[in-house]
Amino acid sequence: MTGNEIRRKYLEFFKEKGHAVIPSASLMPENDPTTLFTSSGMQPLIPYLMGEKHPAGKRLVDSQKSFRSGDIEEVGDNRHNTFFEMLGNWSLGDYFKKEQLNWFFEFMVSELKLDPKRLYVTVYSGNADIGVERDDDSIKIWKEIYKAHGIGAKDYDNGESLGMRDGRIFYYGDDKNWWSRSGAPANMPIGEIGGPDSEVFYDLGAELKRHENSQWKDKPCHVNCDCGRFIEVGNSVFIEFIKTDGSKRAATNGAHANEKKGCFEPLKQKNVDFGGGLERLAMVSEGKDNVFETDLFINVLNKVEELSDNKKYRDNMKAFEVIADHMKGAAFIMGDDKGVAPANVDQGYIVRRLIRRAIRFGRQLGITKSSWAKEIAQIVIADYKEAYPELERNAEFIINEIDKEEDKFMKTLVKGEKMINGDKMDGEQAFNLFQTYGYPIEMTKEICREKNIVLSNNFDNEFKKASVKHSDLSRTASAGKFKGGLADSSEETTELHTVCHLLLESLKRVLGDHVHQKGSNITAKRLRFDFSHSAKLTDEEKSRVEKLVNEAIKAGHQVSFEEMSLDEAKKLGAEGVFESKYGDKVKVYSVGNFSTEVCGGPHVSNTQEIKGVFKIKKEQSSSAGVRRIKGILQ
């Protein structure tokens, strides 16, 4: 069964179960300062998981475009992707564990025709420190499901040390079977939501050579080990908790306070958040042992073979996988309607890194043709244009920017080669070449050998040490940069979120109707607002924008919303970059007669509730044709 067929069947299956089909949200998240990209299906739905009413109802289903930059270095192990599609279904305070676990198992067995004897599951083992017990409810449900299929279902703990033991259900703790955007409970900031999950794994077979010959061959094999035998194909998350500092905890709500770990209080509704990787489901459905030989990648692999003078994937798996994955990821990020060009900061930096890493591995394969990277992107566009028409809509931008980036990188490679001289090269020098010119360490070593330049005795460790130091500094800067966010629904953040509506309308009035919102990032202390405009704002233009915003604040406009169809919203002239979150129905917020916008999340009820005077602190370029304003209430 092809990836396209699986995607269609999944949406149809849950539509028949009463779910509204909603389109994929943008890869560039709105109002979520915790990450550069949408990396899971739940991100665009945070307000609704916390209790806000969704226009499409309490049951939703979609295939969400997702990107995880943290997996860039993992690509090359036959199963990791930076870009992937997350098949998702949600219950927003409607059904819960019994329906969810039964329905997903039914989909896998009845629709995908997977062998139920090759399916294994994991559940949360509990954590007394946060007051959450072992998920015995899910264990009971899974036993009933397996029994209905004539399969014994023994349940065990300590799989890591004791192995399978003829088990079917296994318990794991915070690091495996608890899900939030921040990971384990201890890592969750105050205001973050999450809960226990139950994962489904497919057994690819103990006879796999990579398992028998792997470094894990003498260690106990269990469903959550890394030997390659088992692959996770779906995760049902039961989002029912929010982490607080305990200050507002009611004595009767069952919350559990811990001075060091925070307080985990029940949400006012119990949610289901399911995520299943389309690529992995296609892999097991098509009987493959890797995601790259499925129909979702095979056309790209064939092109790489052609470009590399018929080198074969099975003989060069990592290089093929890096090229296929990275060029797909770059094409989707750039092809998003809020797409970004390669740059040195934020999302643009990731795009640049993907393209250059793909080109580097292309050189390792001996690809000498110039401007070849765009040919890979053209295949991605052709393969996905029906499911994601924005790729074809933005094809010219994708192709042109990739072509320019390849040309730039090839020139930096030449610069790097000139810098590699002398008698000796150490790892720190090599890292500086990598950091400054994007020059790969593998090529540095290769050219050193050609020029008879001696590598220092501790070359690799020196490079690693410099890289770790740089990564630590980057993470520190990132943590400071993205602290806080709209998801906390604080009063200050709500005020600034409403100010964004006033800012957009003011920019349109001052600069023209070509202005559209391209992204935003809001914390309790400031807003960051991206909009389409090619020129730097003059001081006069900034003053006029500030004046319009502050006049609207003082005017005491009532803030109200109305649910309507997307077509009705467009006829009304409502601005909206969030419409992909909703589907057929959208929420249209009106700020008096000042502005009308499709939106979600919290707002003040009257603009006079906004405390302070709006001030533009910085206005700068964000990417090609996009400007960025950072503003505060003071």
Q: Are residues 103 and 29 in the same domain?
A: yes
Out of 268-282, 445-459, 465-479, 547-561, which region has the weakest mean confidence (pLDDT)?
Answer: 465-479
Q: How many CB atoms lie within 10 A of CB 567?
A: 10
**β-strands 59-67, 83-92: how paired?**
antiparallel
Question: What does the H/E/C string look like for 577-632?
Answer: CCHHHCCCEEEEEEECCCEEEECCCCCCCEHHHCCCCEEEEEEEEEECCEEEEEEE
Q: Are residues 207 and 314 in the same domain?
A: no
Q: Is residue 623 part of a domain?
A: yes
283 burial via Cβ count (<10 Å: 0-12, 13-18, 19+)? buried
Q: Is residue 185 part of a domain?
A: yes
Whole-model pTM? 0.73
Q: Are residues 188 and 242 in the same domain?
A: yes
Q: Are residues 561 and 503 in the same domain?
A: yes
Q: Is residue 24 part of a domain?
A: yes
Q: Are residues 248 and 359 in the same domain?
A: no
What SS3 state is found at 194?
Answer: strand
- The two tokens of residue 239 are 């989002």
Query: What average pLDDT does the structure give for the chain?
Result: 87
Contacts of 595 (CB under 8 A, 6+ apart): 501, 502, 504, 505, 575
Q: Is residue 550 part of a domain?
A: yes
CB 295 within 8 A of CB 267: no
Given 285, 312, 345, the domain boundary residue is 285
Q: Are residues 11 and 99 in the same domain?
A: yes
Q: pLDDT for 72-130, tens place per residue?
A: 878 887 778 999 999 999 999 999 999 999 999 999 999 999 999 999 999 999 999 88
CATH number of residue 563's parent domain: 3.30.980.10
Q: Are residues 58 and 130 in the same domain?
A: yes
Q: Are residues 426 and 346 in the same domain?
A: no
Q: pLDDT for 550-562, tens place per residue?
A: 999 999 998 888 8
Q: Pinpoint the alpha helices (H) of 121-273.
A: 136-148, 159-162, 174-177, 209-212
Mean of pLDDT values over 247-268: 61
Q: pLDDT for 199-209, tens place per residue?
A: 999 999 876 54
Residue 316's domain spans which residues?
A: 297-409
Alpha-carbon distance 530 to 95, whole Å? 38
Any idea what the Cα angle at residue 332 is, between residues 515 and 351, rounded to 5°?
A: 85
Given 285, 312, 341, the domain boundary residue is 285
Q: Is the pLDDT of residue 212 over 70?
A: no
Q: Are residues 120 and 253 in the same domain?
A: yes
Mean of pLDDT values over 218-247: 87
Q: Is residue 415 part of a domain?
A: no
Mean of pLDDT values over 504-529: 89
CB 303 within 8 A of CB 379: yes
Q: pLDDT for 62-74, tens place per residue?
A: 999 999 888 887 8
- The two tokens of residue 579 are 């419409």
pLDDT-based confidence at residue 174 (cuts at 50, 70, 90): very high
Given 441, 464, 482, the domain boundary residue is 482
Q: pLDDT for 33-51, tens place per residue?
A: 667 898 888 888 988 998 8
Q: Is the pLDDT of residue 439 over 50?
A: yes
pLDDT at 118: 96
Q: Is residue 291 part of a domain?
A: no
CB 293 within 8 A of CB 312: no
Q: How many CB atoms lie within 10 A of CB 355?
A: 28
List Cα–Cα distances, 254 to 97, 184, 218, 249, 263, in angstroms: 20, 21, 45, 9, 11
CATH number of residue 186's parent domain: 3.30.930.10
Q: Are residues 252 and 127 in the same domain?
A: yes
Question: What does the H/E/C string look like for 473-522?
Answer: HHHHHHHHHCCCCHHHCCHHHHHHHHHHHHHHHHHHHHHCCCCCEEEEEE
Out of 161-165, 272-276, 277-281, which region has the weakest mean confidence (pLDDT)?
Answer: 161-165
Q: Where are the beta strands (DSSP E) in 127-261?
A: 155-156, 169-172, 178-180, 193-203, 230-244, 256-258
CB 629 within 8 A of CB 502: no
Q: What phi, psi does 73 have (nearest 5°)?
A: -75, -15
Mean of pLDDT values over 345-359: 87
- The two tokens of residue 478 are 């990132």
pLDDT-based confidence at residue 576 (cuts at 50, 70, 90): low
Domains contained in the chain, number: 4
Q: Is residue 259 part of a domain?
A: yes
Higher per-residue confidence, 41 vs 578? 41
Q: Pinpoint the alpha helices (H) of 276-345.
A: 278-285, 298-307, 317-335
- Indicate the Cα dihedral angle 104, 106, 111, 117, nearest 10°: 100
Quick one: DSSP state of residue 109? I
Q: Are residues 445 and 578 in the same domain?
A: no
Q: Is residue 292 part of a domain?
A: no
Q: pLDDT for 356-384, tens place per residue?
A: 889 988 988 999 999 999 999 999 999 99
Q: Are residues 114 and 253 in the same domain?
A: yes
